[in-house]
A = this chain, B = another copy of it.
Amino acid sequence: MEGFSKREIVRLGALEIMEEGKKEEYTIHFEPSGLKIEVPVGTVLLEAARKAGIYLSSICGGDGYCGKCKVVIDEGQFQSRPTTLLTPDEVRKNIVLACQTKVLSDMTVTVPRSHALQASQILMDTDARRFSELSGEPEAGVFEFDPLVRKLCVEMSAPTVHDHTADHERLYVAIRGQIDAPIMQTGFRILQGLSKLLVESNYKVAVTIGRRGGTTEVIEVEPGRRCETNFAVAVDLGTTTVVAHLIDLTNAATIDTEATYNSQINFGEDYIRRIIYAEENNAFDEMQNRIVHDVNNLIVTLAARQRIDLHDITALVCAGNTAMGHFLLNLDPTRIRKEPYIASVSFVPPIRAAEAGVQINKRGLLYCLPSVAAYVGSDIVAGVLTTRIYTKKTISLFVDIGTNGEVVLGNRDWLVCASSSAGPAFEGSGVKHGMRAAAGAIEKLNIFPDGSIEFKTIGDTHPSGICGSGLLDTLAELFINDIIDRTGRFKANGDERLTEGDEGLQFQLVPPANEHQEIVITQADINNLMRSKAGVFAAIRVLMEATQTKLEDLEAVYLAGGFGNFLNIQQAVTIGMLPDVPLEKIQFVGNTSITGAKTVLLSRKALEAAEKIAESMTYFDLMSHPTYMEEFIRARFLPHTDLSLFPTVGLAE
């Protein structure tokens, strides 16, 4: 999204406009949202949209080659770079790529519904109920309630000539009367004001303490006994979405939840692309600002809605992939994408949230769950913690399918993990009519024996694209109905819906109607989906082979992530993405990232458990693994080259 050269603008007469003394800020109206923003002449439209709070799809990070950020210019002057991604018809209709278009006047712009990301469809842990039925081995027990940050009502006797303990040590003695805190620490600024405060409050204070490893820090001392008010926020830092839960630390209750799209999305849909963008544009600060801005927005929204003072939010706990953790704290993420694929920090020490720009109590703490490797982040550790597979005697498989597909296999004695570069095909990227799980997306699809197609869209509107679970269904149904063969290739069976499109063969799922476009799935789309599912399954195979785990050894398969929310488990087995175990062994566990973050927030012992999990997990680098490519190639069949691995799919010859 580098600026166009001055010469280009000159050619268009924009400079003349400026030189004539006309105004240099223009107002852009976005429809149908009605949002507007003032921007300087020459601003790139994608950037203007972001500033207005509209997040457009932009897989390529604004480089102009994904064609996802199409908008319609209803009114106004603009300058667009030529592109092959728009048809002559689209150009006539004033459709442009927002990332390749600059503002030259006041404008009115319509954003197609399918392209704008909407916060309403984000996966929250709506499946918490189902999750709550999950249980580990009995001996795992439940973590004791001992939040990382808590407020204590502390009352001391005032000093006398016979009890001349200094104020600081007097406070420590009183705190230790209530909690176990052998090693304590107090910030210098608090020490400086402590005596005055203790005297004025008659030695009755509310003390906020935070755990930092084995050390207990006195975060704040306030007069009086206002210690019933203490909140924290748990955050799942997703590449696509950021989810926040507001927790009452006095009783462990989740009071409210909120979610938003990750506003880094303009810089690329996957984090590798964002790292490249940040490197090329020295935009690490900007990258941090965006995610911090998102987190702050969530916090402010939750606090405002619940009428909570930000001062009373004393902790933030985050889980997420390694790159997002690095972006949030502005740790160097560049080596995540370069061999040998290294994180800067796996065990991030607690810091003051304000140091990262997060707006809670200015002395409040920010905790990150530990991660395992560059491609196995703290969200996966949170998943292992949540599903308790690390406490079980029997072997479990944990699969988190999002932008990547992370896989963990193990039990209480060992844990192995890997990350397949599944790619974001199941998130709608790299698929012609792929889209996010937003209004208008086909989320379920059936093809009947007579060839007719039934589907359901999110919001029950006319379909404008297909989201992940719809794509999974599509792939499975095309296969079951013999429209594609086991290699994923279209069969020339005379179906008139199979036509030659711009990108080769394509199959029409929904015909055009009125102003609505047709929806198709292309051979290239299928190839991308096949690669993604093959990547996940190959990762599972590598881990099972390496640990000599047989199919029948798998006692439980846990599915987590954004994809999983709409996942048809049967179809996931049919296409060979998940191993063919009895369906009752497969369980959807929702957003385990945020559940894990909450668990850690509420119990110091859970944080210790998460640290042990991260330490003990053995990471398999698939790219350098001798059999991964072979497994990957074998998995690029439906369901698999080796049909004996999928007995229930019913194709065994």
Contacts and interface: CB of A to CB of B under 8 A. Distances in A.
A300 interface: no
Contact of A340 (B164, B186, B193): B164
Contact of A162 (B162, B335, B356, B624): B624
Interface stretch (A166-174, A483-491, A522-530, A586-594): A166-174
Contacts of A374: 164
Interface string A166-200: 11110000000000000101101001111110010
A373 B349 CA distance: 35
A161 B191 contact: no
A183 B329 CA distance: 22
A355 to B, nearest CB: 5
A199 B161 contact: no
B335 A199 contact: yes
Nearest to A199: B335
A159 B183 CA distance: 35
Contact of A331 (B191, B329, B339, B343): B191
The A interface is mostly helix, strand or loop, or mixed, namely: mixed
B194 A164 contact: no
B329 A169 contact: no
A348 B159 contact: no
Interface residues of A, number: 53
A345 B194 contact: yes
B164 A342 contact: yes
Contact of A344 (B168, B185, B215): B168
Contacts of A160: 340
B330 A164 contact: no
A336 to B, nearest CB: 10
Given A162-B624, A199-B335, A351-B188, A183 B344 contact: no
Given A191-B344, A621-B164, A349 B199 contact: no
A248 interface: no
B346 A168 contact: yes
A332 interface: yes
Given A161-B339, A166-B344, A195-B331, A185 B624 contact: no
Contacts of A448: none
A565 B330 CA distance: 56
B215 A332 contact: no
B332 A621 contact: no
A341 interface: yes
A340 B624 CA distance: 71
A504 interface: no
Interface string A345-359: 111110110011000
Q: Which of A164, A196, A212 has the most CB of B within 10 A?
A: A164
7 contacts: A161-B621, A164-B340, A165-B342, A167-B342, A168-B344, A195-B342, A195-B344
Given A161-B623, A183-B213, 10 more contacts: A161-B621, A162-B621, A164-B340, A164-B621, A167-B342, A167-B345, A183-B215, A185-B212, A185-B213, A188-B352
